[in-house]
Amino acid sequence: MQTKTPTEPKIGKCPVFCRASAGYYRQVLGGPGSMDKYPGEIFIAGLYSLLQLYRPAFSRHVLCGSAKKINSMKVFLAILLLLGTGLTACSQSPAANTPNPYYSRTDTSKLNVPDATWKKILPADLYAVAREANTERAFTGKYWNSDEKGTYYCAVCGNALFRSTAKFSSECGWPSFFEPLRKDATLYLQDHTYGMDRTEVRCGRCGSHLGHIFDDGPPPTYKRYCMNSISLDFEPDRKKK
């Protein structure tokens, strides 16, 4: 009696292992998508795929196209490697629903919170921009081309920053405004990084990095507040009944 060799679960023509692993390492290497988003889920998916392969089956590897028997020891070592990588990624990101006790849209008192505390509270992608002054890629933020009416707040502390009436289309790939909601909503520091002479814009309440200001905006201020979408929270205006 002929026994059937168990087959691997596949997505299209590609074994799950190949898809999951490629996706996982694209995340790690900073390709399409973001490792900052749900690294635990990426790790679990990759581990599950490797476990699916830990069977006496033949596999046609999509990268080389050759059929070969799976080596149990190699798969076991790969699982350990992925386990270590995945747990490291998970440990570097805060809990998904960590409460932010400093966030308030009504309290305007100044905050002096150390970065070590913010790192435990904020999502990794927000922390990288708001507290380490990284810059999100152009045309990737959720507000760069939004024209919805409402108010923009600091995503770190809830401080009101801009009204949508001050937002304009700059085609630079980041949300741009010609003036803040009030004078003390933002503060400014000289920025000489990368050999450039720029003015950094920070939140006036918590000091988080928002972006930079340039002298090429529209009237009446002729200023362009070039902000990172991830540093902003948006609250749309309530529609009148």
Contact 103, 113 (CB under 8 A): no
Q: Is 206 a catalytic residue?
A: no
Contact 185, 200 (CB under 8 A): no
Burial (Cβ within 10 Å: 0-12, 13-18, ≥19) of residue 30: exposed
Collapse the DSSP code of 191 into the 3-class scheme (helix H, G, I; strand E, B; otherwise coil) and give the result: strand
Side-chain half-sphere exposure of 122, counting CA atoms within 13 A: 26
Collapse the DSSP code of 176 into the 3-class scheme (helix H, G, I; strand E, B; otherwise coil) and give the result: strand
CA-based angle 80:86:92, to the nearest 5?
A: 140
Contact 221, 241 (CB under 8 A): no
> Which residues have C-beta within 8 Å of that of residue 51, sequence separation ≥ 6?
79
Contact 232, 220 (CB under 8 A): no
> Active-site residue numbers?
226
